[in-house]
Amino acid sequence: MKNRIKNALIACLVFSMLCCTSCNKPNNGGDSVVNSNTNKITDRDSLSSDATIAFKDLNVQGHVEKSFVQNNVSVSINSDVIVPEADGLFKAVFVFDEENMNRIVNEWLLPAYPDAKTNTDESFDYGWGTSKEDGSVLMGFSADRDGEIGFIDSVRNIDGTAEGYHTERRYITNTIPSGMNIDAKEAEKEARLFVEKYSPFKYSAYKISDINDKQKIKGYYEIYLQPEYKNIPVCIAQKCEGYGVSLDFEVCLSAEGIFAFQGKTNLKEKECVSVDNMMPFDSIMDYFSSDIAVLATGTDVRVKNIYLALIPDTENPGSPEITLTPAWCFEYSDTRIEAGEEITLEFTVAYSVENGRIIGQFF
């Protein structure tokens, strides 16, 4: 995730909750999904059907299980095919919501921190904070015109580390952090209700880690929330080239409540257009089966999840407009041997539902 908060307000927003975010990014020396062959696998002919999309009428198999070898890459697919219970498919454009930002500040931030003062510079568009006389930060909140918001209460911030940090993209802990009396499910609800109050999206946790301080006296949950819009989930992965746009939201929750969060959620819908044509899912499967040997960085690929989701994208980094486009997403692990060690990375490739073009390669 991109951290953009600096100076007094930021000193904390590049905070401990985000240091674990880097654990989710593959440490592969700059390797990513092979992009030099992109043109070979994205120039699709449109094979869309003429029927208006109705999810209940989709002829999508509920489970895919098959194995094959292609160009010395062993591919195993064993996954349910998840289709959301939605009324239809659409493309939606979102923009920065200044009115909502002011509501966050006036309804939540200033009542909790009445001494907060405006503090902005070139590193963010809007900011509020409190500090000691020596300039050290007590609290910082920032907002950007691309929808990003961030908050840290450094007084309540717990300097924690995760023992045996779980690198899996989808993982929910069963362990309760020190000093807390709620489980991960209850923590998710508390975080979700707070975020949804100031967001156009609904959320559910796709990853929750339990983290304790070094003395194991205090702990907190690090909660990663996946958004959905009109009952369709938004892909949580990030692009390989640069980091791209991701709409997941991170929350740190201790026994004292939420003390840190960050993500793109301060948005409002600008337009929404129905998608009237959709390529048959079997054709998408054929494309993926033929593409995977080119996409793979290793020799052992295992597909774990196949689902229909919305892909967030923007024409320019920092753009105030974010477009959500429907796509079939394939989450897979990719294993290779490097310097005698087995390295497994997690990837997602997304295919446009309309024409089968690859519109995202993610980690």
Rounded to whole angstroms, the maximal C-alpha distance in the chain is 67
177-183: average pLDDT = 95
Are 78 and 224 a contacting pair, CB within 8 Å?
Answer: no
Q: Which domain holds residue 313?
A: 38-92+273-362
In terms of domains, do 151 and 245 share one? yes
In terms of domains, do 131 and 240 share one? yes
87-103: average pLDDT = 93
Interstrand relation of 73-82 and 300-313 (parallel, antiparallel or unpaired): parallel
pTM of the predicted structure, to 2 decimals: 0.80
In terms of domains, do 263 and 200 share one? yes
Per-residue pLDDT tens over the stretch 1-50? 333 333 333 433 333 333 333 333 333 333 333 333 333 444 554 443 43
Q: Worst-scoring range by mean pLDDT, 92-96, 183-187, 190-194, 344-348?
A: 344-348
End-of-domain residue from the set 247, 270, 293? 270
In terms of domains, do 347 and 287 share one? yes
pLDDT of residue 55: 56
End-of-domain residue from the set 270, 296, 317? 270
pLDDT of residue 57: 54
Residue 257: name the closest of 191, 304, 305 by CA. 191
**Is residue 161 predicted with pLDDT exceeding 90?**
no
Task: Give percent of the chain above pLDDT 70.
Answer: 79
Are 264 and 258 a contacting pair, CB within 8 Å?
Answer: no
In terms of domains, do 102 and 55 share one? no
**Is residue 81 predicted with pLDDT exceeding 70?**
yes
Are 247 and 263 a contacting pair, CB within 8 Å?
Answer: yes
End-of-domain residue from the set 270, 294, 319? 270
In terms of domains, do 71 and 128 share one? no
Using 50, 70 and 90 to split pLDDT, how confident is the model at 69?
very high
Whether residue 17 is contained in a domain is answered as no
Query: What letter does residue 53 receive in the DSSP assignment?
Result: P
- How many angstroms separate the Cα of 197 from the Cα of each of 103, 104, 194, 227, 355? 10, 9, 6, 13, 36
pLDDT of residue 37: 38
pLDDT of residue 8: 32
